[in-house]
Amino acid sequence: MRQPKIVIVGAGLVGGSAALFCALALPSARIVLIDVEKVRAEGQTLDLAHAAAFWGHDRFVAGEDEDARDADIIVITAGAGVKPGQTRLDLIEINSKIVGGIVDRLAPLAPEAIYIVAANPCDILAHVAYVRSGVSRERVISTGTSLDTARLRTLLADRLNVVAPAIHAYVVGEHGESALIHWSGATVADMPLEIFLTRTGKEMGAASRDLILRSVHESAKQIKEGKGATHYGIASAVGRICHAIVTDSNLILSVGVVQAEVEGVADVCVSLPMSINGAGAHLLAYPEFDVTEREALQRSAGIVKAATATALKSL
């Protein structure tokens, strides 16, 4: 790929942080920030330029829609945020209209772009972007449960006293309350989780696993109570996805695309471990789930499917 052009729509905390992570991961990238309030994009760009002066990246631009022409990647972070007492699904109607409008404006300017949707509810909004853009499934990526998976591995690393990269365990399904942990496929230090627990004398019963899942779900709430917003984690996920696309690396992350079918639910965007490369995100092979996990994933997919139908009707 030539010098990559990454357009980030939404210059708030997530968009600004994503620009920084993308610049760190891809020093050659040209990064364009677009926001409905251009002064915000200009402020973020200026701040980023000052930061970049220390290490040489000087390709940040505060732009308008026209500056998205021929973009390689379009990242959508714009949208209303979750307020206290709300869930991500409460944002469906307003953010579907926002994302639909963004795609309608930018798709003709960047017909070869890969989309990354980080605005919430990201799975439903990725489906909206897929329908409105008319591109192939693999080219519209929901950040999905990539951040949930990072949170899971952080919790497990602390509990098991190993570094997070030694853990391969995924959160799958909806990026939301119906997500589940794929315990039956989890490995630690190249061993199935159950064997690792037995050989190290550690225990992780059903109650502990339920607590870990609740902790994954509640991480965002905990962060918001402490600092007011979450942005570094999801921005880092965006940067990692962009890096995998530009470098054509076949990185495996738990992200979503609109799958033809998941556990009997047709045309639904939920997260599974996907290979990410220069063509987008692809499911190499469907994971092996136990009976309980399959039922939970079917439920999760059904929730996303119903919410997506609501979103598409509102457009």
Closest CA to 253 of 267, 239, 265, 264: 239
SS3 237: helix
Q: Are strands 265-277 and 280-282 parallel, antiparallel or unpaired?
A: antiparallel
Q: How far apart are CA 48 and CA 196, in angstroms?
A: 44
Does 175 participate in catalysis according to the annotation? yes
Neighbouring C-alpha atoms within 13 Å toward the C-beta of 18 = 36
Whether omega before 121 lies within 30 degrees of 0, making that bond cis, reads yes
What letter represents residue 185's amino acid?
G
Catalytic one of 127, 175, 182, 243:
175
Closest CA to 252 of 277, 279, 235, 273: 273
Q: Are strands 140-142 and 114-117 parallel, antiparallel or unpaired?
A: parallel
163 burial (CB, 10 Å; 0-12 / 13-18 / 19+) is exposed
Q: How far apart are CA 62 and CA 41, in angstroms?
A: 5
Measure the CA dihedral 241/247/248/251, to 10°: -50
Give CA separation, 84 vs 87, 221, 258, in Å: 8, 9, 29
Query: Known catalytic residues?
Result: 175
